[in-house]
Structure 1
């Protein structure tokens, strides 16, 4: 995602740019895994800033506000996992994110579920460890923070989106965000970024 020539000093949007393109902020819980993935989209019709915070959902909102003070983004997406977060805190975090007008993109149990859905529709409740084991069956060399997952999986993206949408339909009857397992709505951010690709 090239942003060269758009962000001036201190990350400010340059003035007097010829065409107005949307400015999108993606704040990720993971410092590398999610950041590497979203940075790999070849977006040319929007300016995208991806930040990896290394912090959970309950503090990502503060991080987003920090970036928003420096630049008025058109869209803000917060990407995080259920992981070990307490159910109540997780649910409250999502409600607060939505209340602020930001987009919560979350996976239960972990972001790797999105990768797994590129291969198979999986609907049985699972732990993070189980999810990683299942993914390694499909990609034996997979390790956390691998930098080329977008390239490895992009040909299977349509299947992943379809599988994630099917999961969402199944989990619609569950009112608590924390109880939706497995679940990921990463596909919503993926579809948004694809609108601005070359």
Structure 2
């Protein structure tokens, strides 16, 4: 990936001061829902590329490789759900992603749990259908692929981060990723992107 540089004059001496911005690749399982959400972050202090694959957790790493053929990235984040993926396949996918040094960002049962945490803490095990039903009680007209979810929820983002961290603390002794429900670590990617927002 190309890096942008700039030149400044200091007195009579010209100096080459190169501003190197971090490059971040985000590859999402969902073709639109997650992609639209992360693309809405205004991060002028980083080069961010967001791609939606429409492929499951167990093949997401292979799907991401096409973006790594021609470009180099400082950070690689793969975003996916437990959803209908078999427990062992889900666990294997996370282990494989992390063994490559990439960031595995996953939600159980689904990405919408992250949205739901903007409104309230969730403790009871949830199916995807139950999660969507709860979210629609908060956002009656919610449908997948809404383009302005980030704008709708950004004033509650600190609540979501707090709730997600609380879930993580509660589930820390569960060794199987697939058994952590409800659970999402989307907050880690959100916190990273917020580092590069316009101050």
**Which TM-score bucket, shorter chain as reference?**
over 0.9
Match in the other structure for 1:7: none
Match in the other structure for 1:158: 158
Does the Cα contact within 8 Å between 1:107 and 1:184 map onto a contact in 2?
yes
Does the Cα contact within 8 Å between 1:117 and 1:160 map onto a contact in 2?
yes
Q: Which runs of 5+ in 2 are unaligned?
A: 7-18
Pair 1:197–1:164, CA change in 2 (3 A): same
Deviates more, 1:186-195 or 1:55-64: 55-64
Match in the other structure for 1:167: 167
CA RMSD of aligned residues (A): 0.9
The TM-score, its normalising length taken from structure 1, stands at 0.92
Shift of 1:66: 1.5
Match in the other structure for 1:17: 5
Pair 1:177–1:16, CA change in 2 (3 A): closer
Structure showing greater Rg: 2
Q: Which runs of 5+ in 1 are unaligned?
A: 1-12
Match in the other structure for 1:178: 178
1:94 and 1:181 map into 2 onto residues whose CA distance is 15
Shift of 1:57: 0.8
Match in the other structure for 1:107: 107
Taking the TM superposition and a 5 Å limit, the aligned residue runs for 1:95-134 are 95-134=95-134
Shift of 1:15: 5.6
Shift of 1:14: 3.1
Shift of 1:16: 6.1
Other structure's SS at 2:158 match: helix
The TM-score, its normalising length taken from structure 2, stands at 0.92
2:112 and 2:3 map into 1 onto residues whose CA distance is 39
Matched, 1:88 2:88: yes
**Number of residues of Structure 1 aligned to a counterpart in Structure 2:** 186
CA deviations on 1:121-168 (whole Å, 9 max, x unpaired) are: 001001000000000000001001111000000000000000000000
1:58 and 1:67 map into 2 onto residues whose CA distance is 17
Shift of 1:17: 3.0
Does the Cα contact within 8 Å between 2:33 and 2:146 map onto a contact in 1?
yes
Deviates more, 1:63-72 or 1:177-186: 63-72
1:16 and 1:79 map into 2 onto residues whose CA distance is 27
Does the Cα contact within 8 Å between 1:125 and 1:181 map onto a contact in 2?
yes
Match in the other structure for 1:192: 192
Does the Cα contact within 8 Å between 1:64 and 1:76 map onto a contact in 2?
no
Shift of 1:190: 0.0
